[in-house]
Structure formats: C-alpha cells, structure tokens
Amino acid sequence: MLRRLLFGTDAGWWTLPLRVSLGLIFIGHGAQKLFGAFGGKGLQATADLFATKLGMTPGMLWAALASGGEFFGGLLVLVGFLTRFGAFNIAVVMLVAMTQVHWGAFFMPKGIEFTLALLGSSLALLIAGAGPLSLDMGFQQRGGEARRRTSRRRRRRRD
C-alpha cells in the first residue's frame, strides 16, 4: 500500500512535459531563495522578507521550508522519484504563496494566476503520479516483479 502511494503511477506520457517544466521552474525558484542563484537574494534575505513583509515568524524556518519545498520538490518531480511527495510540497508552497503574497489580484505581476497554474500542475502530478520515464515507474515495476516471485515461491511450496 505504501509503495503504491509513494511510487505508483498509471499515468501516460502526458506527465513527462509537465514534470520537466514544473521541476525546472521550482528548482530555479528554490535555488534563488536557498543559494542566491539566478539573481536571487539567498536564504537570509528570503527569511527577512518572510518575517518583515509577510509576518511569518520565525522567518528562517518559513524561508527554509518554502525554499526547500520548491527546490527539492522540483528536483523530485523532475527526475520522477517520489513524485507525489514532491508535488505535494510544491502544492503547499503555492497555496501559501497565493494566500500570503498574491491574494487580492488575479492577473500578473502581483496576482494569483501563475501560482494557480502551478498549483493545478502540481495537483495533477499528485493525483496521477510520475508516469513513464521516471524512477517511480522503475520502482513500481520492480516491486511488481518481487511480488510475482514471492507468489511463485508460495505456489511451489503448496505443490
């Protein structure tokens, strides 16, 4: 049951472009906040923003959770390993971003439209799983083979 929840996927190839685009977006955004990459300010500046402008204290805790959720969630989604867990992390970060940062307007640059699209994409992967060409699919197939071997052994013992 747990293996199915973590690695199970019956999705088709449609998840691959979704995983690649969502994964790259969140690796980039997480790297900005965590490491100051791609023109970002880094973790301390993100923590200061969370504490002072958003009122989310302690700022370092919330910044680390959001940045880590983005970066590592994006990495998991990109490679298709524990995709549902990675997508869940992204969905939580997007819900918080929508309600704490972007609420009050719909259209960009300050609105919720982009966060809503990213939330929808992460929820699609949370429901469907990684699909083909993913580590999850490999673990799912490996688990199925192990169950078949165990069933064969049990049948041989009964005979």
Q: Please report the pLDDT score of residue 156 as a whole number.
A: 64
| Tens-digit pLDDT string for the chain (159 aa) | 677 777 788 779 999 999 999 999 999 999 999 999 999 999 999 999 999 999 999 999 999 999 999 999 999 999 999 999 999 999 999 999 999 988 888 887 788 999 999 999 999 999 999 999 999 998 888 766 545 555 555 566 666
Q: Please report the pLDDT score of residue 1 as a whole number.
A: 67
Q: Please report the pLDDT score of residue 146 as a whole number.
A: 46
Could you give the CA distance from residue 149 to residue 147 in angstroms, rounded to a whole number? 5
What is the reported pTM? 0.85
Q: Are 50 and 62 in contact (CB under 8 A)?
A: yes
Q: Please report the pLDDT score of residue 159 as a whole number.
A: 61
Judged by DSSP in three states, 38 sits in helix
Residues 6+ apart with CB under 8 A from 139: 3, 6, 7
Could you give the CA distance from residue 132 to residue 151 in angstroms, rounded to a whole number? 26
